[in-house]
Every structure is written in C-alpha cells, then in structure tokens.
Amino acid sequence: MSEDYQFNQLFSQYAVEVGRYLPRRKRKDIQIEILSLLEDALEDKSEKSGRLPDEGMAIEVLKEFGPPIIFAENYHQDNTLIGPEIFPIFKPVLLFVMALFVLQFLVGALLPGIAPRPDLLTIIDSFFDKGFQVFGVLVFAFALLERTTPKVWLRWPFKEMERTWDPTGLKPEKRKAAVKPGELWFEAFFLAGMIVLFSVFPQWVGFGNNRNGVWNFVPVLSESFLAYLPWVVVYFLSKLVFNIALARQSFWDAKMRWVGIGIKVFGLLLLFAFLTGPAVFGLNPAYLAQHNPSTASVAWFESTLQNWNTGFRIYVIIAMIVQFIQLARMIFQAVMGSNQLKFRRE
C-alpha cells in the first residue's frame, strides 16, 4: 500500500469523523470541502519543506486541524440558542432527561391522586404539555449556562481532546482501539451526578405526580439500600476515574483493558449482590418524612412493591447477561492484544 493512499485514507476518515457532528443536510458538501482544505494544507506544507508529501506530513496537517468534534465547530452558526461549545453535552443530556420524564410520567399516571382519574385524552394532553415544559426548561438552562459560565469550564473536556489528539488513530488498524472521548466525558458527568444523588440526596430517588396543582412525591429506596450505598458510590467513582483516564488517553491499550475488566467484574459482583440481597425498593420512614406523600400514594406503592422488586431483579439478570458478554469480549481483546505484542517482540 503506497504512502499516498495511506494519507488520503487518513484525510477521508477525518472528513467522515467531522461529519458525525454536522447537520445531515450539509454533511456531504462540507466533507468534500474538508478534503479540499486538507489537500491544500498538505500541498502548502510540502512546498515549504521542499519534500514530497508523506504520511508523517499528513499527520502534522491533521494535528493542526485538531480533533474532529472541535473542527466541526467551524461549521456551526453563532446565532444558535445552544451553541457548538455546549451542544455535544446538551444532546445526550436531553435524551436522558426526556427518557426519565417519560418513565416518571407513566408511573405518575398510575399513582393514585386526590382527584378522580382523568380520561385518556386529558392524560395525553398533560403528557405533551409537561413534556414541552421539561424541554423548554432544559433548553433555557443550557442557554443560560453557555452565556454565564466562564468559557474555560465549558472548554475543559475539549482542551483535553486537543491535548491528546492523535491522528494516527484514524488508521483502519488503529480505529479498532480508538475510543469516543465525547461519550466518555458525558458518561463521566453522568456518573458524577449519580454519585452526588445517591450519596447526598437518596431521598429524591422516586416518582411523583402533579394533579390539580398538588405535587405528590414518593421516595422508593428502602432502608436496606443503605447497605449497598457505599459499594454503589465506589463503583460509580471507579468508573468515573477510569472514563476520564481513558478519554484523556483516547485509545485502548493492554493496561486500560485489564483495568476495565477489573471494574466490569466489580460491577458484576454488585449486580449479584442486588440479585441475592435485600430488596432495593421499599418504604423508608426517614425518606417519607422529608416529603409527606399522600396516604393513597404510599398505599399504592406498598401494594405494588413486590412488582417493583421483581421487575428490578429481572433487569439485574438481563444486565448481568449483557455484562458477562462484554466481559468475555474484553478478556478476549486483552489476551489477543497481549499475544500480538509478544509475537512482535519475538
């Protein structure tokens, strides 16, 4: 394979990666423009150095262009409500919050209220009304955050991506070991939020509804959950540190694979404890006292408590199966990677 083909392949893959962060309707034209810009930059660098273009020169050009997610910001308009600096964080948060809202609404619709249960049309109208409210509040919060938060805070994950940007990761043989830093940073933010929620505000894990202007909330974590809490926090914290380290490194290697395997085993042990240990959901008098939910809501939750815990155990079994498959794949990749390294040394 010629070097000319190799660096053209790097440029093509770079354009593809940038396109992932661009509007679909403009993606193809912009990718063609990016390829032209890369080729022009390579030609200029070749003329200045007085030597023919090669792969090393192409990598230098890609380093100057920067990580795809950051270069894509050049094609975002500045007059948007949610700008390019915070949109990579906004999008996954929006999906998570809206999914949580749907789950909360469905449970809340079943929760007994102080008034007669509304008909189906009223429930649908209420769903869209509250859904747009949640969406509007989230958009407003992120727009306000972008305009009031110091840019250095918003740019911190992107600065890390720039610092660790390695264009050789675009090569076909290395793309298998590459990671997506954006996803890892989002998961890190999510894990940090979960640590704060479970360790500081566990009484706010629950569900509720709002009928006739009366808000009713029922906390769902049992007293037995306190026995799991330290291990849950340790697991989330270990994944948080691991995600940050992997995002900064930007690729898998043998050390990170084995660390990931260890965390995966820890997670499986925690799931096994959930499956065989005391029930996670239940009535906790201390949490109930902080919300004073209606008697009817508490009675409904207590009457369906067995279904909650049964459903959670089914989820745990499914999660364990998925985790076992992922663990087996990680072990295979780690062992095969070690064997390839030994072979190269020999």
Query: Would the pLDDT of 98 be above 50?
Result: yes
Tell me if residue 219 falls in helix, strand or coil.
strand
* Rounded Cα gap, residues 295 and 183, in angstroms: 42
pLDDT digits (tens, 9 = 90+) for 49-73: 888 888 888 888 898 888 887 788 7
* Rounded Cα gap, residues 112 and 315, in angstroms: 25
Query: Would the pLDDT of 275 be above 50?
Result: yes
Quick count: other Cβ atoms within 10 Å of Cβ 304?
15
Strands 214-219 and 206-211: antiparallel
Query: Would the pLDDT of 180 be above 80?
Result: no
Over residues 34-50, mean pLDDT: 88
Closest CA to 246 of 234, 265, 260: 260
Q: What is the pLDDT of residue 336?
A: 73
Q: What is the pLDDT of residue 320?
A: 95
Look-up of token digits 């007085």: 50
Q: What is the pLDDT of residue 259?
A: 93
Query: Would the pLDDT of 335 be above 90?
Result: no
Largest CA distance in the chain: 83
Residue 342 pLDDT grade (very low, low, confident, very high; cuts 50, 70, 90): very low
pLDDT digits (tens, 9 = 90+) for 213-223: 667 788 999 99
The answer to whether the CB of 218 falls within 8 A of the CB of 208 is yes
Residue 242 pLDDT grade (very low, low, confident, very high; cuts 50, 70, 90): very high
More confident residue, 343 or 3: 3
Over residues 149-157, mean pLDDT: 58
Residue 164 is encoded by which pair of tokens? Answer: 């660790």
Query: Would the pLDDT of 318 be above 90?
Result: yes
Share of the chain above pLDDT 90, in %: 25
The answer to whether the CB of 305 falls within 8 A of the CB of 281 is yes
**Distances, alpha carbon 53 to alpha carbons 45, 46, 57, 65, 172, in Å:** 8, 6, 6, 17, 20
Residue 177: which H helix or E strand, with range? none
Query: Would the pLDDT of 40 be above 50?
Result: yes
Q: How far is residue 243 CA from its own chain's centroid?
A: 10
Residue 130 pLDDT grade (very low, low, confident, very high; cuts 50, 70, 90): confident
Q: What is the pLDDT of residue 227?
A: 93
Q: What is the pLDDT of residue 263?
A: 95
Q: What is the CA radius of gyration of the chain?
A: 25
Over residues 120-134, mean pLDDT: 77
Query: Would the pLDDT of 229 be above 90?
Result: yes
How many CA atoms within 13 Å lie on the side-chain side of 33? 12
Look-up of token digits 């330290």: 230
